[in-house]
Structure 1
Amino acid sequence: MNFVKRAGKSLRARKSRTAVLLGIFVVICTLLLGGFLLQAATARQEADAQRDIGVDVTVRGDGFSAALADRLGASPLVHRYNPLLPLTAGARGFKPLVSDPPKPSGTRDGNGEQGPLALNGVRDSALLLPFSYGSTKITSGRGITPEDADRHVAVVERRLAEKNGLKVGDTIRVRSADGERTLPLTIVGVFRDPTPDPVPDPARWTPPHELPGNAVYVPVDTVRQLSPGAADLTDAVFRIGSPEQAERLHAEAERLLGAGSFDFRVNDKAYRDQVRPIQRVGTFAGVIVRLIALAGALILSLVVMLQIRERRAELGVLLAMGEKRWKLIGQHTVEVAAVALPAVAVAALIGQVAARPTGDALLGREANGRGAAAGAPRASTSTRPPEIHVQPSDLGKVAGIGLGISLVATVVPGIGILRLHPRSILTDSE
């Protein structure tokens, strides 16, 4: 008789043992699938966190221009970058804030070399630390984005907007400190700086451009047009994916700026606080998958070994009738594999139902805890509920491991069959 048909009849004849074997396989396949789903979810969440949180690298140095920042920002390692180019400027058609104490005699007014407005030329205001960590917030409109590079737009502080009745969509005019160039700027956003105004001190007068309410964010090119000459950047922030990439970015910076001519600082605290826990969950899931595969192979090997011992008389009769040993091992392999395949289908159903609660328990709790601790918008991506779905590739891996376990669980105990003579099996079974 064909050993495959014989395996089918054996499964039907031993329904209780088949049910036990099926239950064991369902548990193993469900745990394996859960491990793979958790690995996939952590990989997606880690990629999102690396893109949106990442690692901030601050570069500053003499001769560091906006053009060099653009060249370094074009590196494939850089996700986003933001140069900072400051300039003081004058106001035309609206009134900047002034400090309460009287201005000392001999001090230049707003039309002198130091204008009353503190312009900050930026490329992406969201990368500025006050905006990134949420201490400074946009209350109306939006911030400066890379798409504003060739536009004359501005983001003004709430106190300056309230004093002049300004709102999003209005136009203000700023002029260079020497008064030779004037540019109209459309307000696209209003922000709130939590820094209070200086406490009035009759002994000390605060220049207008040092008041937090006179800060205005504009694109870098706007500052260039108002600057009387070439100006160096205060610094530039580059966001990369991981701390491991910082060394490669440093090498590129040396090639552009020259070795030792710049300051290169890596801030990976947010990455360590929010990405490393996700990586630990993924590592834990990988360890669980390997342990489950090993434990499953051992448990099934023991089960099959016990079944073989109970069926020694059957094996002896078949061998005495001339049945080949490899077909006997093949019969047991088919029996176990025939149970493994439906177990994968059952595990898929269980995994689809239980995957989301499990992911929320492991990943969601980690993310929410970190987000609450950080209290920053940079944590918003990692606090999203993890998306866990059963994919065909996950089922394929579970089926492959399940079949591998079934093969190991039957071949290893079946080695004993190869060493026994039919007469020995029949004699031992009496």
Structure 2
Amino acid sequence: MLAIFLVICTLLLGGFLLQAAAARQEAGAQRTIGVDVTIRKEGLTPALADRLGALPGVHRYNAEVPVRAGAQGFTPLASKAPGDAAAGDGKGALAVNGVRDSGMLLPFSYGSTKLTSGRGITPEDAGRDVAVIEQRLADENRLKVGDTFRVRSADGERTTPMTVVGVFRDPAREPTVWTPPHQLPGNQLYVPVGTAQKLGEGDREGEGDGAATVSAVVLKIGSPDRARELHARTEELLGKDGFDFRVNDKAYKDQVLPIQRVGTFAGLIVWVIALAGALILGLIVMLQIRERRSELGVLLALGEKKWKLIGQHAVEVAAVALPAVALAALAGSLAGQSAGEALLGREDDKPVSAPRAPDTEMAPPTVRVEPADVGKVAGIALGISLVSTVIPGIGILRLHPRSILTDTA
């Protein structure tokens, strides 16, 4: 009976540990991977973008403000292919991308564009004139992290000094045909949203007809289930018409749904083991009662209460269950981590067809034996003890001492 109880308690504890580990890993995955929601609308301002980013359920957000600018005191890259070098619209040779969080941009998050030195643009850079420039532009002008250069607004009325905080490498090759300077990958740079607004056409406060506006806002939420609520709140801010709302949950489905399936499987294990354990132990107790019928008959003949006899069996089984719980807790603390990694970490070993974002890499599952888990196993074990003794003991309640002794004889 002790061996059977040990197997049952170990499997029960394993199910609870796996459920808890899956829940922790799922919560971590929702924070790091999440679901990206992209919102686009004409005339979207940074103030509205900040209000969208402050909506409940949004873990992280980024606003994008693309503008054109010119160079002052340094030389932008030029197309090496033959063409009309004088052609262009005169708005500047630099493509300036105002962002709040460059780490949320797909080229950076998926690793196709990598930082070679320094760091990217972060929310803490708001109000600062800093820039992340492309490696080719940095090499052409001998710029490095910490250097300062000046950028002229597209209308030529203002110049803004910027400090280089990072250098990135765009994998795109130089075009083989003549290309306007602002479309060259080397002339791309990233700055905070406020800096992009100052460089945009129109007045300095961003209220003129040509003022720089937000082209897109990307919001990171925990799960696809929150997208409907977010859409409703977006309608309250932007109106029901005139905005584009797109949900990208591919990474979430690829990595979070397998974790949820493991958690569901663990919950099923707990129920199956509990029911099977009660059935098996009930049969064992029933056999023991049949073997001890003469003992029961003598005790009943001496005036012992029937419910006390059933209680005696329940206490005996419970006395075996408690050591089994302790041994199961010891086994769980020794082997739980490796078992959790084998089940929850299995999907990471599978090849993927698309590149995985570096910031979506999940830490190995943490499996630890908590007192609450041991308490639940002990409670179920005691419940199994009670069920497995009371149900077979119903037959005792229906017999008389003379019947038991006569049948035994």
Name the TM-score class by shorter chain: over 0.9
Aligned pair partner of 1:397 in 376, 380, 388: 376
Listed one character per residue, the Cα deviations across residues 309-340 of structure 1 (whole Å, up to 9, x for unaligned) are 10011111111111111101100010011111
Shift of 1:105: 7.1
Q: Distance in 2 between matches of 1:405 and 1:258?
A: 58
Shift of 1:92: 1.4
Question: Which residue in 1 is equivalent to 2:15?
Answer: 35
Structure 2 vs 1, CA of residues 132 and 417 (structure 1 numbering), >3 Å: closer, same or farther?
same
Q: Is the contact between residue 88 and residue 116 of structure 1 (CA under 8 Å) also seen in structure 2?
A: yes
Shift of 1:236: 1.0
Q: Is the contact between residue 59 and residue 262 of structure 1 (CA under 8 Å) also seen in structure 2?
A: yes
After superposition, where does 1:143-292 map in structure 2 within 5 Å? 143-199=120-176, 201=177, 205-229=178-202, 230-292=211-273
Q: TM-score, normalised by structure 2?
A: 0.95
Runs (5+) with no aligned partner, structure 2:
203-210
Aligned pair partner of 1:132 in 94, 109, 114: 109
Q: TM-score, normalised by structure 1?
A: 0.91
Partner of 2:345: helix, strand, or coil?
helix
Partner of 2:65: helix, strand, or coil?
strand
Shift of 1:369: 2.7
Q: Distance in 2 between matches of 1:403 and 1:175?
A: 77
Listed one character per residue, the Cα deviations across residues 25-68 of structure 1 (whole Å, up to 9, x for unaligned) are 11111111111111111111101111110000000011211111
Question: Which residue in 2 is equivalent to 1:334?
Answer: 315
Q: Percent identity?
A: 69
Shift of 1:165: 1.3
Residue 397 (structure 2) pairs with residue 418 (structure 1): yes
Partner of 2:240: helix, strand, or coil?
coil
Aligned pair partner of 2:300 in 302, 319, 325: 319
Question: Which residue in 2 is equivalent to 1:141?
Answer: 118
Letter in 2 for 1:80: R
Partner of 2:127: helix, strand, or coil?
coil
Q: Is the contact between residue 370 and residue 379 of structure 1 (CA under 8 Å) also seen in structure 2?
A: no
Shift of 1:303: 0.7
Residue 74 (structure 2) pairs with residue 94 (structure 1): yes
After superposition, where does 1:113-128 map in structure 2 within 5 Å? 113-128=90-105
Structure 2 vs 1, CA of residues 419 and 242 (structure 1 numbering), >3 Å: closer, same or farther?
same
Structure 2 vs 1, CA of residues 403 and 371 (structure 1 numbering), >3 Å: closer, same or farther?
farther
Question: Which residue in 2 is equivalent to 1:406?
Answer: 385
Q: Distance in 2 between matches of 1:206 and 1:373?
A: 30
Shift of 1:249: 0.5
4+ residue runs over 6 A deviation:
none
Letter in 2 for 1:96: P
Q: Distance in 1 between matches of 2:161 and 2:297?
A: 98
Question: Which residue in 2 is equivalent to 1:62?
Answer: 42
Q: Distance in 1 between matches of 2:393 and 2:354?
A: 56
Listed one character per residue, the Cα deviations across residues 134-161 of structure 1 (whole Å, up to 9, x for unaligned) are 1111121111111111211111111111
Structure 2 vs 1, CA of residues 188 and 414 (structure 1 numbering), >3 Å: closer, same or farther?
same
Shift of 1:379: 2.9
Cα RMSD after superposing both structures: 1.4
Runs (5+) with no aligned partner, structure 1:
1-20
Q: Distance in 2 between matches of 1:344 and 1:88?
A: 69
Shift of 1:245: 0.3
Q: Is the contact between residue 274 and residue 370 of structure 1 (CA under 8 Å) also seen in structure 2?
A: no
Equivalent pairs, count: 401
Partner of 1:64: helix, strand, or coil?
coil
